[in-house]
Structure 1
Amino acid sequence: MNKNQISDNQILASISQDDYKMLFSHLEKVSLLSGQVIYQQHKVIEYVYFPLHSMISLVHNLSNQTTTEIALIGNEGFVGLSVFLGGNIASGDAIVQIPDSAMRLDVKIFEAEFKRGGSLQKILLLYTQARIIQVSQNVVCKCHHHIDNQFACWLLHAHDCVGSNELALTQKFIAQMLGVRRASVTQVAQKFQENGIIHYSRGHIRILNRLFLELSACECYTFVKSEFKRLLNFS
């Protein structure tokens, strides 16, 4: 496996060639299925995942059986942030929302490479800062911005994660991730479809006009994207 084969993940593509040579024999390409739970709350983490074209949600489960999304991760990042911060127990679930492939790495190999202090360590520390900014901005967004804006932001993040206009997503799922009623998402989706921004059919969303989608989003999307670019030079 050469470095070009994993260049679809921006973190792996950013490490030095020498550091990649130390990791390549340990990286395993795996297929992820829709709905697959790769981390389960309060369970030991065994692998970290670097999505290539898949999309993974980190969610917290509440005692009333509801769930809320904390972060959405695609090819700009990786799943397993807590591992190099000293924790190997998942604080929430990590669920595959859009299936495809990812590179998987055993946590022991990952920890050893991080502690070695090479390019991976530097990139992951910057990524952690960017992810904290994103999670913080999500809190602000959910408290202060209209559901229309949040829906547009979420679709833009999903589009960035997988690099495709075709998204296999249900309104029920999006409502769970945004922490709102399904009826609210249905109303927004209908409005966006009437305005030619998206086409929605059961379990499937097609983005028709990304520019209009960006105009419908609040400032949170461009702010988070600019922070990833500033810190990591990710597009």
Structure 2
Amino acid sequence: MVSAAVERTTLEIGQTLHRSGEMIDHVYLVESGFISAMAVLSDGQPLEVGLIGSEGVAGGTVLLGAQTSYCETMCQTGGEALRIRTSKYLRLMESCPIFRAVTLKYLHMFHAQVVQTAACNAHHDLSQRLARWLLSAHDRSGTPELSLTQDLISIMLGVRRSTVSVAAATLQRAGIIRYQHGKITIVDRVGLENAACECYEAISGEYRRLFGEHPKDIVRPHRFTT
């Protein structure tokens, strides 16, 4: 029975769900908030490779045969999730072929996001990348006000804090965002979309192709009872 396999849990800002190289003991179906998936370099420095919101799942690579986590997954905001022990999750996937098919679609989508993020980091300027990231965070958080320090953004984008200040100031002067006291407020969503590079629309287009909707429209709770 699905309800017996699932427990609701609260996600805390900064909480790590999976550590790189460690066993994936639980899978998390996010209901609210969003999570960063980060590659951890040999010097311990993390770099974000993708965002997970309530359109997806953290730890879902167990469905592809993985036992340990390649990435570190950290909660960027508070929220809620449905937590399932890995063994029960795999049995659930076997018994629910429709759920399995949708999850495999999502895992493809997340892979596409990682690929596009790598291309974006290599070829686009920081203000475009920051705009893309803020749009993705807005889609998943559902709120225009994001609690983000420049230190955190610099880690997520793999750049120095000083360059984040310059990029944020550029968007603020254009009237697109307002940044103060560790919070970024999106003032002009359309302007932010125009300021972003092609990568945001590329990933949004892939979502539409697979799911028939824009990612911000498919952020909704997973339909389970506990």
TM-score by length of 1: 0.87
Partner SS, residue 152 of structure 1? helix
Please say if 1:138 is aligned against 2:117. Answer: yes
Shift of 1:135: 0.9
Output the aligned Cα RMSD.
1.3
Task: Quote the Cα distance in structure 2 between the aligned partners of 1:160 and 1:28.
Answer: 25
Partner of 1:18: none
Partner in structure 2 of residue 98 of structure 1: 77
Residue identity in the other structure for 1:127: Y
Selected match of 1:59 from 22, 38, 41: 38
Find the residue that maps to 1:109 and give its secondary structure: helix
Query: Which residue of structure 2 lines up, in the alignment, with residue 162 of structure 1?
Result: 141
Where in structure 2 are there 5+ consecutive unaligned residues? 215-226
Moved more, 23-32 or 162-171: 23-32
Q: What residue identity is the alignment partner of 1:24?
A: S
Read off the aligned partner of 1:189 and give its amino acid letter: A
Letter in 1 for 2:21: H
Question: CA separation in 2, counterparts of 1:149 and 1:227?
Answer: 20
- Of the candidates 81, 99, 105, which is equivalent to residue 120 of structure 1? 99
CA contact under 8 A between 2:16 and 2:73: conserved in structure 1? yes
Q: Is the 8 A contact 2:9 2:83 kept in 1?
A: yes
Find the residue that maps to 1:72 and give its secondary structure.
strand
Alignment counterpart, residue 181 of structure 1, candidates 151, 160, 168: 160
Q: Could you say which residue in structure 2 is the equivalent of 1:7?
A: none
Residues 50-88 of structure 1: CA deviation (Å, up to 9, x unaligned) = 112211111121122321111111111110122111112
Taking the aligned partners of 1:65 and 1:125, their CA distance within structure 2 comes to 30
Aligned to 2:67: 88
Which amino acid in 1 is paired with 2:117?
A: N
Mind listing any 5+ residue stretches in structure 1 that lack a counterpart? 1-21
Instruction: Out of 151-160 and 139-148, give the one that drifted further.
Output: 139-148
Does the residue aligned with 1:206 lie in a helix, a strand or coil? Answer: strand
The verdict on how the C-alpha distance between 1:109 and 1:234 changes in structure 2, with shifts beyond 3 A counting, is farther
- Is residue 127–residue 170 contact of structure 2 (8 Å, CA) maintained in 1? no
Percent same amino acid among aligned pairs?
35
State the SS of the aligned residue for 1:98. coil
Give aligned pairs, total. 214
1:194 is aligned to 2:194: no
- How many Å separate the matches in 1 of 2:42 and 2:113? 25
